[in-house]
Structure 1
Amino acid sequence: MPSWKLVSGLSLAFVGSLVGAFLIALSLVTVPNEAKAAATQQSNVFYWADGTVMGTKGETNRQIVDLKEISIHMQDAVISAENASFYDDPGVDPKGIARAMFNMATGGDTQGGSTITQQYVKNTYLDQSQTLNRKLKEMFISIKVGTTQQKEEILQGYLNTAWYGRGAYGIQAASQAYYQKDAKDLNANESAFLTSLLKNANLYNPDGGVGASATPEQNRKRVTGRWRDVLNLMVKNGKLEQAEADSYKFPEPKKQQATEGQAGQVGYLMETAENYVLKMAKSGLTKKDLERGGYRIYTTFEKDKVAKLQKAVDKVSKTYLDPKKREKDKYVQVGAASVVPGDGRIIALYGGPGYDKEHFTNNADTRGVPVGSTWKPFVLAAAMEEGTYKTGGQPLSPQSKYLGNDNIKIYDQSGKPVLKKDGTPFYQQNESDYPWGPITLYEAMQHSINTPFVQLGMDVGMEKVKKLAEDSGISEESMSEINASFALGTSTPSAIRMADAYATFADHGRQVEPYSVIKVVKGGEELAGFEKPKTRQAMDSDVADTVTDVLQNVVENGTGTKAKKLGRPAAGKTGTTDKNKSAWFVGYTPELSTAVAMYREKPGEPKLLSMNGTGGFDSIHGGDFPTEVWTEYMKAALKGKPKKDFDKPGPLNEKVANGAGVTSSAPPVKETEDPEPEESQSTPEDTPSTKPSKPNKPSTPPPPSSSCSPTDWNCPPDGDTSGSTNGNTNGNGNGGPGGSTDPSPSDSETIGWIRGQGDTSP
């Protein structure tokens, strides 16, 4: 029989070998340098203007937050329920590990018994398999983590990596999923409920889970019992008074919200915001950085306004369009944007049917759709801001007369005809051949007559028109080639940019860059670069106010009369391009500026299609569908707000300087008791006019349409077009004095290389 000394020696040797093996194993195990991707992957969270969650973008609904952004009640509840000795223990529970190993060997339950540190290690560095090897790794890594990381860091990591059900990973996502609030705002009662879910969200989420034993009834019974246990444990650990715990009733979670994802307008809103973030962030943020997630992006978009804009588009579309009945009703697209004058924030967009409808181009923030006659206000504003070669730099009066007849020669500043590429004179056409004769610019804008504004653009200088449009908010990249037709809207800015540029008129010539993001937060820190854009004076305030006065007349008496249904002061301009390939209405009140574009484009084929025949009508104009959408939306958006008048323009000391072809012998377009002075083509007017007054309507009205539908879509055309049908459109003239240029491409040619590029992104 072995002596006691031998037995003791062998026992000590065995224990020593175990300790040695443990120490060797501990020294060989290292904490991984990086957490597994699934544990740290986050979604980007987007917020509406009111601070509520718009949606998340990313594979995992997780938002990592600092411990200071997690309610102390939540911290207390988790520690009390999961690991009361957390701040004192070494990070492992030897008894729990031994019990789990024994159960593993005997086929018993392997769950439970882990410390917060162990659960953090399992969530962050290991998989969820229940094997002896994984359990040993968990123990060794937990010991090292417990000695190398601060307890606060471990607790924060655990709360950010745990699963809470409802697709929520991390306490911030869980707080939003169950109570629609941030984790920092959780009270003790709510914290006890969310802590209960950590036991097993599939079996404790009152919504129910997967499996026969996870019915809503069974889960509710489990979670109410566990919730009460957590409250009692908080009392036991001195984190809650018994009386307070007893007073609590079960904190019913809010109704589960359907995951919006990127359906409807949300996808376009997120895309617009992302583009703005990448453009403005001063930290050199890249798209790859954004894709890694973890950003909280607070936008300017107002949920109710976005819904109202979509409703307006849907209502008008449903009224007039039937793709199953009419081939020309297929592929109709709408893009729209709404901007606050004087501020620049974009409060609403309509980008298309939605990502969920497989429409991935944001129609509100993309270049490629010519704006037509909505460009004419920039020509008039440039003439008032810069004058023409006839006024010697003094503002040109809107009472100046220009020849409004169809198919007339256009002259450069030397008095010579503008030539086409073949050396023959360039003739500009109107949509109608009605003989307007000499007509004031005020009236020409009202009826959207082309010829006066092409000649006016030449008299001002198209480069000056371009500069004023750019100063007003139009991006340089969207400008078309400079030539005679530049005045008629061959450029292709986005709806966002057009709404912003017209907002410059609304705010007395003050321009603010459009913006969609007010704040970006990552890891609890606010990123720099998202301060509100500064305001700058783009044009004289009286120039802007005079343009507004002219555009009010367009709504009251001209091509935009459907906007009168708004029932409050409004200014705006219609726009239609050659062959009805696009139609616009851009308008504003003192409070809001909105642009609506309509066009046809077959998916995958970057080419604009004619809208002749769309809706069953011969042609579509900016005064039709786009104006109706604008009016429906603006009515809803401004409902309940007091009506506000525009400010009256102040004196400009402007000159009346008539255009080429307007002579004393020219037939007048209207009868007046005191006709305005007229001049020859080559002699500038020397006498300044008084403040412009609205002229009487022409004694001879424009010719009515031969047939007029109840919707007025076939009523007298608004005169908008990007040119003639015989090839004289779209820039076959030269670029002004001093030489000729190639014609600008037609819209169908231009569209191929610019559709899909964001107009507010870098």
Structure 2
Amino acid sequence: AAAAKAQNNVYYWANNKPMVSTGGETNRQNIKYEQIPEAMRYAVMSAENKKFETDKGIDPVGIGRALFNMAKGGETQGGSTITQQYVKNAMLNDQSQTVSRKFKELLVSIKVGRTEPKEEVMAGYLNTAYYGRTSYGLQAAARSYFGKDATEMDESECALLAAVLKGATYYDPAGATAIDPGATQEANTRRATERWSWILDEMVKDGHLSATKRAEFKELPKLQNPRSSSELGGQIGYLVDLAKGYVINNTDITEEQLRQGGYEIHTTFDKKKVADLEKAVKKVRKENLDVKRRPKTDTHVQFGGASVDPKDGAIVAIYGGESATKHFTNNADETGAAVGSTFKPFVLAAAMQDGKRDPDLGESQAQDERTKVSPDSFYSGKNKLKIKTYDGSVWKNDKGKEWLQTNDDDASYGSPPNYRIDLREAMRVSANSAFVQLGMDVGLDKVKKAAENAGLRPNSLTGTTFPSFSIGISDPSAIRMAGSYATFATSGQQNDPFSVKEVEYEGGSVWKHKSAAKEAFTEQVADNVTDVLKTVVEDGTGTSAQLDGREVAGKTGTTDGNKSAWFVGYTPQLSTAVSMYRMDDDETKKSRPFLEMYGTGG
């Protein structure tokens, strides 16, 4: 059947030339029954089918439950023995949950149970099952998870793979957030640990494992990096993960169907731009970082980046990390690195779109009650500015402490005693105090709405009730930051970033992306933001981004403790976001905080 002979999926570059073939039987190596560890057979039996060695291939009680559910029009799954699962994986092309397919499964399972040796059924099941990490069959799984042959696995490793059979998306400790944001490393590790421990305990109860041996296994077995295929090295693995996640989350194609293979996935990725972005990062590393000379400041430096086409939101390039086979987290996606002052354009956009509130009126005010703001509006650039609410009262936190907003390097901008500067100048020098007070005057709810309208996801916006929200304590991804600045590049028309243009199956198109721009800001507001951000590149904190003969708009961003640094910039044709931070790459450590970057790169 199709599942037993899974094809590859072929991923294509934006120019429709093949990028990589992956997923399917590329990562399958069938093994004989004699090569399957006894502990693996017992782990699966204890977890899924205790009477496997004596049953007739079906579970009458389970089947009765399944038939009863079917009669009521409910779920058809249930009552699956190891034999039934083998039949479903290896012999039935139709994987749908229908009454007719369920009856077919039952009839074939009864025949297989009567005519086929248990050894063949067990080997067939373990060789055709999917274990995640593009691994079909026990041998491929053993190599993907533990870097060894199946014959070398111990009882603990067998129990973990038996646990993964329940669903790799949710039980692989490495996580699968590209498929489901809820399948985090933490959540998956918790689920896997609970099931792994339960299976070992069941093996003891069933007489397949001694209590003494069981007591030796206190923690999950050591796992190797999920990346095992050299084809997925460099940026390719990050690109494939991004495209795969997009297909699963934005089409009717399921993860199960993708595992069956045969799909042609046409991505938005520009091969040359991906290479150029990677080359740029490598150049910076080579010229600036010296771990031997500066081991305390130049280690663990990470970069993430993304480039988006403003006209439609196509993601043309990403930089996910050193290599997908060495560094698992895609740094172009959400990493937890705060965006700092690159958030300020959203505050300015909100102020120009909605205006600041009248201090004599209530907290919620209509548009015609507000005062319009422009790049020429004046605010204080004073360091340690006492922040006030829109009505003039001093803002205090829940502990009654007043908020004094500092600027980078504790510098004040403008002339004393009032330190008045206009918002264009405040953006050019990146004065925190001016934008924090501006956010309070406009309303942080309006700032949040502007950021969302530009294209940032609501779940990436944190600290929305604190004044510092306006200076980027949130942690959107590089992809989303590039996409949101692209909204300014298109004079206020917002397109969601996307990574797949079309999916084909057996030569025919089964899904096509359709861009649908939404107006996030008026043309005047968006173009005013762009005009201000040009100043940053021409004569501000972002002069390194200047291009010969080309106008560039952009914004730098740093955070408290210098734990992340950003630049997001754009021309009409391209919007690019780059992040930099320091974090230990050892994912086995329980605590991996963001590290300060004072002195990094000299």
- Output the TM-score relative to the length of structure 1: 0.49
- Give the aligned partner of residue 424 of structure 1: 401
- The structural deviation recorded for 1:326 is 1.9
Cα separation, partners in 2 of 1:567 and 1:582, compared to 1, 3 Å = farther
- Give the aligned partner of residue 372 of structure 1: 340
- What is the aligned counterpart of 1:495 among 478, 486, 508? 478
- Give the aligned partner of residue 241 of structure 2: 271
Query: Given that residues 380 and 434 in structure 2 are in contact (C-alpha distance below 8 angstroms), is that contact kept between their aligned partners in structure 1?
Result: yes
Q: What does residue range 568-717 of structure 1 map to in structure 2 within 5 Å?
A: 568-603=550-585, 604=587, 605-616=591-602
- Give the aligned partner of residue 174 of structure 2: none
- The structural deviation recorded for 1:431 is 1.8
- Please tell me whether residue 45 in structure 1 is matched to residue 10 in structure 2: yes
- What is the aligned counterpart of 1:315 among 283, 304, 314? 283
- The structural deviation recorded for 1:599 is 0.3
Tell me which amino acid in the other structure corresponds to 2:456.
Answer: I
- Please tell me whether residue 527 in structure 1 is matched to residue 510 in structure 2: yes
- Output the TM-score relative to the length of structure 2: 0.62
- The structural deviation recorded for 1:359 is 0.5
Counterparts of 2:378 and 2:523 in 1: how far apart (Å)? Answer: 23
Q: Deviations over 1:325-350 (max 9, x none)?
A: 32221111000000011210010110
Query: Given that residues 555 and 568 in structure 2 are in contact (C-alpha distance below 8 angstroms), is that contact kept between their aligned partners in structure 1?
Result: yes
Counterparts of 1:446 and 1:59 in 2: how far apart (Å)? Answer: 52
Cα separation, partners in 2 of 1:304 and 1:413, compared to 1, 3 Å = same
Cα separation, partners in 2 of 1:566 and 1:369, compared to 1, 3 Å = farther
- Give the aligned partner of residue 89 of structure 1: none
Tell me which amino acid in the other structure corresponds to 2:256.
Answer: K
Q: What does residue range 110-509 of structure 1 map to in structure 2 within 5 Å?
A: 261-281=231-251, 283=252, 285-327=253-295, 328-356=297-325, 358-390=326-358, 392-436=369-413, 437-482=419-464, 483-509=466-492
Cα separation, partners in 2 of 1:413 and 1:582, compared to 1, 3 Å = same
Counterparts of 2:245 and 2:376 in 1: how far apart (Å)? Answer: 43
Counterparts of 1:592 and 1:489 in 2: how far apart (Å)? Answer: 23
Counterparts of 1:372 and 1:550 in 2: how far apart (Å)? Answer: 18
Counterparts of 1:515 and 1:35 in 2: how far apart (Å)? Answer: 30
- The structural deviation recorded for 1:398 is 1.2
Q: Deviations over 1:95-115 (max 9, x none)?
A: xxxxxxxxxxxxxxxxxxxxx
Counterparts of 1:286 and 1:396 in 2: how far apart (Å)? Answer: 48
Counterparts of 2:496 and 2:571 in 1: how far apart (Å)? Answer: 18
Query: Given that residues 557 and 566 in structure 2 are in contact (C-alpha distance below 8 angstroms), is that contact kept between their aligned partners in structure 1?
Result: yes
- The structural deviation recorded for 1:61 is 4.8
- Give the aligned partner of residue 735 of structure 1: none
Tell me which amino acid in the other structure corresponds to 2:347.
Answer: V
- Give the aligned partner of residue 207 of structure 1: none
Query: Given that residues 24 and 261 in structure 2 are in contact (C-alpha distance below 8 angstroms), is that contact kept between their aligned partners in structure 1?
Result: no
Counterparts of 1:416 and 1:45 in 2: how far apart (Å)? Answer: 61
- 1:384 is paired with a residue whose SS is helix
- 2:234 is paired with a residue whose SS is coil
Tell me which amino acid in the other structure corresponds to 1:465.
Answer: V
- 2:304 is paired with a residue whose SS is strand
Query: Given that residues 569 and 589 in structure 1 are in contact (C-alpha distance below 8 angstroms), is that contact kept between their aligned partners in structure 2?
Result: yes
Counterparts of 2:246 and 2:258 in 1: how far apart (Å)? Answer: 12
- 1:415 is paired with a residue whose SS is coil
Tell me which amino acid in the other structure corresponds to 1:499.
Answer: A
Q: Deviations over 1:473-495 (max 9, x none)?
A: 00111001211110010010000
Tell me which amino acid in the other structure corresponds to 1:442.
Answer: R
Counterparts of 1:44 and 1:276 in 2: how far apart (Å)? Answer: 15
- The structural deviation recorded for 1:435 is 3.3
- Give the aligned partner of residue 55 of structure 1: 20
Query: Given that residues 384 and 394 in structure 1 are in contact (C-alpha distance below 8 angstroms), is that contact kept between their aligned partners in structure 2?
Result: no
- The structural deviation recorded for 1:291 is 2.1
- 2:392 is paired with a residue whose SS is coil
Q: Deviations over 1:511-564 (max 9, x none)?
A: 001010011112333223x32220111000110000000000000010001112
Counterparts of 2:499 and 2:442 in 1: how far apart (Å)? Answer: 35
Query: Given that residues 298 and 600 in structure 2 are in contact (C-alpha distance below 8 angstroms), is that contact kept between their aligned partners in structure 1?
Result: yes
Tell me which amino acid in the other structure corresponds to 2:248.
Answer: L
Gaps of 5+ in 2: 28-89, 92-228, 359-367, 414-418
Counterparts of 1:407 and 1:361 in 2: how far apart (Å)? Answer: 37
Query: Given that residues 500 and 513 in structure 2 are in contact (C-alpha distance below 8 angstroms), is that contact kept between their aligned partners in structure 1?
Result: no
Query: Given that residues 406 and 432 in structure 1 are in contact (C-alpha distance below 8 angstroms), is that contact kept between their aligned partners in structure 2?
Result: no
Cα separation, partners in 2 of 1:597 and 1:567, compared to 1, 3 Å = farther
- The structural deviation recorded for 1:354 is 1.0
- 2:332 is paired with a residue whose SS is helix
- Give the aligned partner of residue 541 of structure 2: 559
Tell me which amino acid in the other structure corresponds to 1:523.
Answer: E
Query: Given that residues 55 and 260 in structure 1 are in contact (C-alpha distance below 8 angstroms), is that contact kept between their aligned partners in structure 2?
Result: no
Q: Deviations over 1:620-656 (max 9, x none)?
A: xxxxxxxxxxxxxxxxxxxxxxxxxxxxxxxxxxxxx
Q: Deviations over 1:565-587 (max 9, x none)?
A: 45410000000001110000000
- The structural deviation recorded for 1:289 is 2.5
Query: Given that residues 399 and 441 in structure 1 are in contact (C-alpha distance below 8 angstroms), is that contact kept between their aligned partners in structure 2?
Result: yes
Q: Deviations over 1:439-495 (max 9, x none)?
A: 111100000010000000000000100001101000111001211110010010000
Cα separation, partners in 2 of 1:418 and 1:35, compared to 1, 3 Å = closer
Q: Deviations over 1:680-703 (max 9, x none)?
A: xxxxxxxxxxxxxxxxxxxxxxxx
Tell me which amino acid in the other structure corresponds to 2:382.
Answer: N
Counterparts of 1:522 and 1:324 in 2: how far apart (Å)? Answer: 51
Tell me which amino acid in the other structure corresponds to 1:372.
Answer: G
Q: Deviations over 1:54-73 (max 9, x none)?
A: 001125359xxxxxxxxxxx
Q: Deviations over 1:283-334 (max 9, x none)?
A: 2x33232222221110000101101111111111110012233222111100
Q: How many residues align?
A: 383
Query: Given that residues 45 and 297 in structure 1 are in contact (C-alpha distance below 8 angstroms), is that contact kept between their aligned partners in structure 2?
Result: yes
- 1:505 is paired with a residue whose SS is helix
Query: Given that residues 43 and 293 in structure 1 are in contact (C-alpha distance below 8 angstroms), is that contact kept between their aligned partners in structure 2?
Result: yes
Counterparts of 1:571 and 1:293 in 2: how far apart (Å)? Answer: 43
Q: Deviations over 1:192-239 (max 9, x none)?
A: xxxxxxxxxxxxxxxxxxxxxxxxxxxxxxxxxxxxxxxxxxxxxxxx
Counterparts of 1:573 and 1:501 in 2: how far apart (Å)? Answer: 13
- Give the aligned partner of residue 364 of structure 2: none
Query: Given that residues 357 and 371 in structure 2 are in contact (C-alpha distance below 8 angstroms), is that contact kept between their aligned partners in structure 1?
Result: no
- Give the aligned partner of residue 111 of structure 2: none
Counterparts of 2:262 and 2:329 in 1: how far apart (Å)? Answer: 25
- What is the aligned counterpart of 1:518 among 494, 501, 505? 501
> Quick check: 411-420 or 370-379, which moved more?
411-420
Counterparts of 1:277 and 1:607 in 2: how far apart (Å)? Answer: 32
Query: Given that residues 9 and 24 in structure 2 are in contact (C-alpha distance below 8 angstroms), is that contact kept between their aligned partners in structure 1?
Result: no
Cα separation, partners in 2 of 1:602 and 1:260, compared to 1, 3 Å = closer
- 2:462 is paired with a residue whose SS is coil
Gaps of 5+ in 1: 1-33, 63-123, 126-258, 617-762
- Give the aligned partner of residue 87 of structure 1: none
Tell me which amino acid in the other structure corresponds to 1:615.
Answer: G
- 2:538 is paired with a residue whose SS is helix
